[in-house]
Amino acid sequence: MRFTVNGSPRDVDPARSPTLLAALRDQLGITGPKLSCDHGECGACTVRLDGELVYACLSLTAACEGTQVQTVEGLANGNALHPLQESFITHDAAQCGFCTPGQLLAAATLLEQKPHPTDDEIRAAMSGNLCRCGTYPKIIAAIRAVADGAGGAP
């Protein structure tokens, strides 16, 4: 079965990996998306499927044929980090970093759909991605900075 991952065509065997998360991690070695709750409760596995946010742990591999999948590894443009990645760095918006790949994809999707969200819209849009370290205020600040056109500047 073939789909596109971060711009490159990739082949996986859906029988070996029923979920998209397992296919990405175990067959393709793409480990940015994390396995944490395995039930769509925490958002650590968040990826984009044809531009839409999905929990990869709840997405069936077989249903992804022909789709475009984006993971955190595909967020940067070559060596140039995505503005949100820069902003997360400058705002210290990653503590342990385990939830960060999912947070970044959720934030990128938010800003594509709503380039100038209010703080409450940020909170609502990001509330499907848990962070146990409590980095939320800095994630909000990092998203805010990009939305306000400040790029990665703190």
Partner 1 sequence: MSEKRKGKHTTKRGRFVQTVVEVEGRTETRVVELPAFEPPPWTAATPLTIVGTSPLRVDAAEKVTGRARYTADIVRPGMLHAVIVRAPLAKGTVTAMDLDAARAMPGVRAVMGTGDAPAATRLFRRDISYAGQPLAAVCAESLDAAECAARVLATSLRVDAAPHAVIVDDAIAPDAPLVRKDGNTTAPDVVERGDVARGLAAAEVTITREYRTPVALHSALEPHGAVCEWNGEHLTVWESTQGIFRVRSDVAKALTVPQAKVRVLKDYMGGGFGAKNGAGAHTYTAALFARQLGAPVRCINDRRAEQTDSGNRPATVQKVTIAARRDGTLTALVLDALIPLGISGWEGGPAQIFHELYACPNVRTTEICVYINASGMQAFRGPGYVEGAFALEGAMNALARALQIDPVALRLKNLATRDERANREFSGNRLDECYTEGMRRFGWTSTVHRPPPTVTRVKHGIGVAAQTWPTGGGPPSYADVRINSDGSVDVLAGTQDLGTGARTILAQIAAEALGARLDTVRAVIGDTERLPYTGNSWGSMTTPSVGPAVRMAAEEAKARLLEAAAQMLDAPVESLSTNDSQVLLDSVVALSFSDLCRKLGNVHIVGHGSRGPNPELAIVTVGAQFAEVEVDPETGVVRVLRVVAVHDAGRIINPALAESQLHGGIIQGIGYALFEERHIDRARGVTLNANLHDYKIPTMADVPAIDASFLDGADPAANHIGARGIAEPPIIPTAPAIAAAVADAIGVEVCEIPLTPWRVLTALAQ
Question: Which chain residues interact with partner 1 by CB under 8 A?
Answer: 16, 18, 22, 25-26, 29-32, 34-39, 41-42, 44, 71-73, 75-76, 81, 85, 88-90, 92, 94-101, 104, 122-124, 126-140
100-138 in b/e form (b: 16+ CB < 10 A) is bbbbbbbbbbbbeeeeebeeeebeebbeebbbeeebbeb
Which residue type, as a one-letter code, is found at position 89?
I
CB of 19 to partner 1, least distance (A): 10
How far, in Å, CA of 24 to CA of 38, rounded? 14
As measured in angstroms, the least distance from the Cβ of 51 to partner 1 is: 19
- Min. distance of Cβ 120 from partner 1 in angstroms? 8
With a CB cutoff of 8 Å and minimum separation 6, the contacts of 25 are: 31, 33, 35
For partner 1, the closer CB: 25 or 66: 25
CB nearer partner 1, residue 15 or residue 66: 15
The distance of closest approach from Cβ of residue 153 to partner 1 in the complex, given in angstroms and rounded to an integer, is 12
